[in-house]
Amino acid sequence: MPIESRYVFKNVDQLGIAFKKGSPVRDDFNLWLKEQGPQKISGIVDSWMK
């Protein structure tokens, strides 16, 4: 079952990441994602999709 957003606005991120663009929290989250690397992130996503 694909992930879907209940509320969709034209030209807006469909899944609505939790942190506003340009916010320090989003910058920290993006840094954390980079530190984890693609393999670890894929493992996290795979475990939640089961």
- pLDDT for position 2: 60
The whole-number pLDDT of residue 25 equals: 80
Question: How do the domains of the chain map onto residue ranges?
Answer: 18-50
Confidence at residue 36, expressed as pLDDT on a 0 to 100 scale? 92
- How many degrees, rounded to 5, is the angle at CA 40 between CA 38 and CA 42? 65
Distance between alpha carbon 11 and the CA centroid of its chain, in Å? 17
Q: 1-50, pLDDT tens digit by residue? A: 565 555 555 555 555 567 777 778 888 888 998 999 999 989 988 888 88
Q: What is the pLDDT of residue 34?
A: 92
Would the pTM count as exceeding 0.75?
no
Instruction: Output phi, psi for 19, to 5 deg.
Output: -115, 135
